[in-house]
Amino acid sequence: MKADAIIIGAGISGLATAFLLKKNGLNVIVLEAESEVGGTMKSKRVNDYLVEFGPNSALETTHLFKQIADEIGISNEMVYANEFANKRYIFKNGKLHPIPMKPQEFFKSKLWSWTGKFRIMLEPFHGRAKNTAGDPYWEETVAQFVRRRLGKEFLDYTINPFVAGVYAGDPEKLGVRSAFPRLYALEEKYGGLIIGTIKGAKERKKREEKSKITAKMFSFIDGMGMLPNAISNYLGNSVITEAKVKSIKKDVKGYIVEFEKDGRIENLFSEAVVVSTPAYAAAEIVKELSAKIEDALKQIYYPPVAVVIFGYKEEQIGIELDGFGYLIPEKEKRKILGTLWSSTIFPKRAPNGYVELTTFVGGTRQPELALKGDDELTKIVSDELKDIMKIKGEPEFVWISKWEKAIPQYNIGHLRIMAMIDEFEKENPGIYLCANYRGGISVGDCVMSAEKTANKILSEK
Ligand SMILES: Cc1cc2nc3c(=O)[nH]c(=O)nc-3n(C[C@H](O)[C@H](O)[C@H](O)COP(=O)(O)OP(=O)(O)OC[C@H]3O[C@@H](n4cnc5c(N)ncnc54)[C@H](O)[C@@H]3O)c2cc1C
């Protein structure tokens, strides 16, 4: 059988690519190893609670979300975050401290000492880092970059917890150019972060673009999983589930994709093949095309993460749930990374009179904790929440999802791997790698990478 394009993997990266190609008249086939689509983006209703297995929300950084939601008929189900969601806390010395949003709050905040604040204010006076080795893939770690520009306290009590919230990662390992390219670009383009933020905002306003700071946070009434499910419905028979791709082989003028379905090996042919699986799965799939790229993809580390969802009666909670939630700096030596106050952020996350809290455990910081047994994880999180959020008693509802390989780490060395992927695509025209280890891990980044991939395929047809 032949298709205009074969997409391997029905996570948001693969499905958004397939959607954009089909909309432009291409006959696409999506092959997904599991019985359900969505990859990490899955949601479920259990006892009137909304359970998110992976992402809880996305930032509307691209017009594509609205466009896709409109065309697949779910724009009425889109929900924007409560205005409280802008308020976020960081845990320090046994207390939750709001992250300051205005200059007067910054001066009052107990998150940093006066010396630490003074160091932050000196940010505009620090020059650019020097790449003395002349290596095109050279980059500082996020920690080196932040220590140099904003000081150690800002690293420990702002960036370290923030990185745990986004990547479940370690700022001493993540590369700043790879993991936070827009932050790095502020220094590169404008010479500093504060000046760059001000000038960048003016330029974006002219271009009518949204940054991650100003973009609106959204989900769907029945959770993030609604988006991949509705795209899959739109694609109809073009999506084949329980079809695990084994290999891609070169053929005259195209590629043969070999996959296993119902215990049988089957083949599909196409001139365009998009590999939208995690890097470790892509390594296996493309190894017959290049052993070098197989090695490179295998180097991308995915730490484990457990998502622990608790439901409590409102009266069990000892603090006001007036924000997005909190993150915990590594220095505080706790056993959780942070907690989202899910039922504050979006409606219909918990039954009336109850609240839903989503806590993340593990990541690069404590990988061994993420894969503990459910009873042990429940006890760890319950004990931590009693202390941090002054909760009385045990949760009425518990749901745990464990990701053995959760989020790709854009660690030092990532730029070199990305350059190798560019080279691999040039050497194998018609093969495209499009997933969250390339171009950003957020749902918005995945959708924007899908758009780039679809445009490349369409322009080459
Ligand atoms: C716990 C957690 C919380 C997160 N929270 C947020 C958040 O709040 N906001 C945000 O923006 N982002 C968040 N993210 C990140 C974001 O969800 C992911 O980066 C994004 O969903 C990844 O999409 P993807 O399509 O690239 O990959 P995936 O979702 O991993 O999809 C890949 C697909 O490929 C399939 N596959 C694998 N091997 C094969 C094979 N051999 N043949 C066929 N198919 C195969 C898999 O089954 C899977 O369906 C979170 C991630 C995790 C894990």
pTM of structure: 0.96
Q: Calculate mean pLDDT across residues 312-322.
A: 97
Q: Calculate mean pLDDT across residues 389-393.
A: 97
Q: What pLDDT shows up at residue 204?
A: 67
Rounded-to-integer distance, Cα 133 and Cα 90, Å: 37
Rounded-to-integer distance, Cα 451 and Cα 218, Å: 20
Quick one: which atom of ligand 1 is closest to the CA of 441?
19
Q: Calculate mean pLDDT across residues 125-140.
A: 86
Ligand 1, atom 49, residue with closest C-alpha:
39
Q: Calculate mean pLDDT across residues 212-239.
A: 94
Structure tokens at 304: 């484990």
The secondary element (H helix, E strand) that includes residue 305 is: strand 305-313
Strands 217-220 and 58-59: antiparallel
* 326: phi then psi, degrees, rounded to nearest 5: -140, 160
Q: What pLDDT shows up at residue 189?
A: 86
As a whole-number percent, the residues of the chain with pLDDT over 70 amount to 98
Quick one: which atom of ligand 1 is closest to the CA of 305?
1
Instruction: Write the pLDDT tens digit of every residue in 169-182.
Output: 999 999 999 999 98
Per-residue confidence band for 198, with pLDDT thresholds at 50, 70 and 90: confident
Please tell me the distance between residue 211's alpha carbon and the centre of ligand 1 in angstroms.
Answer: 22
Rounded-to-integer distance, Cα 447 and Cα 451, Å: 6
Above 70 in pLDDT, residue 443?
yes
Q: Calculate mean pLDDT across residues 188-196.
A: 85
First and final CA of the chain: distance in angstroms?
19
DSSP state of 99: P
Above 80 in pLDDT, residue 202?
no
Per-residue confidence band for 196, with pLDDT thresholds at 50, 70 and 90: confident
Structural domains of the chain, with CATH:
5-38+63-72+222-300+409-460 (3.50.50.60), 112-207 (1.10.3110.10), 303-403 (3.90.660.20)
Please tell me the distance between residue 438's alpha carbon and the centre of ligand 1 in angstroms.
Answer: 12
∠88-141-191 over CA atoms, to 5°? 80
Instruction: Write the pLDDT tens digit of every residue in 228-251.
Output: 999 999 999 999 999 999 999 999
Please tell me the distance between residue 17's alpha carbon and the centre of ligand 1 in angstroms.
Answer: 14
Q: What pLDDT shows up at residue 193?
A: 86
Q: What pLDDT shows up at residue 126?
A: 86
Above 90 in pLDDT, residue 195?
no
Structure tokens at 97: 């401290």
Per-residue confidence band for 322, with pLDDT thresholds at 50, 70 and 90: very high
Please tell me the distance between residue 336's alpha carbon and the centre of ligand 1 in angstroms.
Answer: 22
Ligand 1, atom 14, residue with closest C-alpha:
55
Q: What pLDDT shows up at residue 209?
A: 58
Instruction: Write the pLDDT tens digit of every residue in 411-432.
Output: 999 999 999 999 999 999 999 9
Mutate to test the pocket of ligand 1, among 15, 36, 40, 218 (most ligand atoms within 8 A of CB): 40
Above 90 in pLDDT, residue 207?
no
Q: What pLDDT shows up at residue 235?
A: 98
Ligand 1, atom 1, residue with closest C-alpha:
54
Q: Calculate mean pLDDT across residues 11-19.
A: 98
Please tell me the distance between residue 276's alpha carbon and the centre of ligand 1 in angstroms.
Answer: 9
Quick one: which atom of ligand 1 is closest to the CA of 31?
43
Above 90 in pLDDT, residue 200?
no
342 CB less than 6 Å from ligand 1?
no
Ligand 1, atom 8, residue with closest C-alpha:
55
Q: Which of 389, 396, 407 is nearest to 443 (CA)?
A: 407
The secondary element (H helix, E strand) that includes residue 422 is: helix 414-427
Q: Whole-number mean pLDDT of the chain?
A: 95
Rounded-to-integer distance, Cα 154 and Cα 143, Å: 10
10 CB less than 6 Å from ligand 1?
yes
Enumerate the β-bridge partners of residue 254.
Answer: 251
69 CB less than 6 Å from ligand 1?
no
443 CB less than 6 Å from ligand 1?
yes
Please tell me the distance between residue 370's alpha carbon and the centre of ligand 1 in angstroms.
Answer: 18
Please tell me the distance between residue 39's alpha carbon and the centre of ligand 1 in angstroms.
Answer: 5
Ligand 1, atom 53, residue with closest C-alpha:
406
Q: What pLDDT shows up at residue 132?
A: 77
**Letter string b/e over residues 337-346, b meaning 16 or more CB atoms within 10 A of that residue's CB:** bbbbbbbbbb
283 CB less than 6 Å from ligand 1?
no
Please tell me the distance between residue 12's alpha carbon and the centre of ligand 1 in angstroms.
Answer: 7
Structure tokens at 71: 């065309």
Please tell me the distance between residue 391's alpha carbon and the centre of ligand 1 in angstroms.
Answer: 32
Mutate to test the pocket of ligand 1, among 19, 60, 257, 277 (most ligand atoms within 8 A of CB): 277
61 CB less than 6 Å from ligand 1?
no
Alpha helices, DSSP H only, in 92-180? 103-108, 114-121, 142-150, 152-154, 160-167, 176-179
Ligand 1, atom 30, residue with closest C-alpha:
39
Above 70 in pLDDT, residue 303?
yes
Instruction: Write the pLDDT tens digit of every residue in 37-52.
Output: 999 999 999 999 999 9
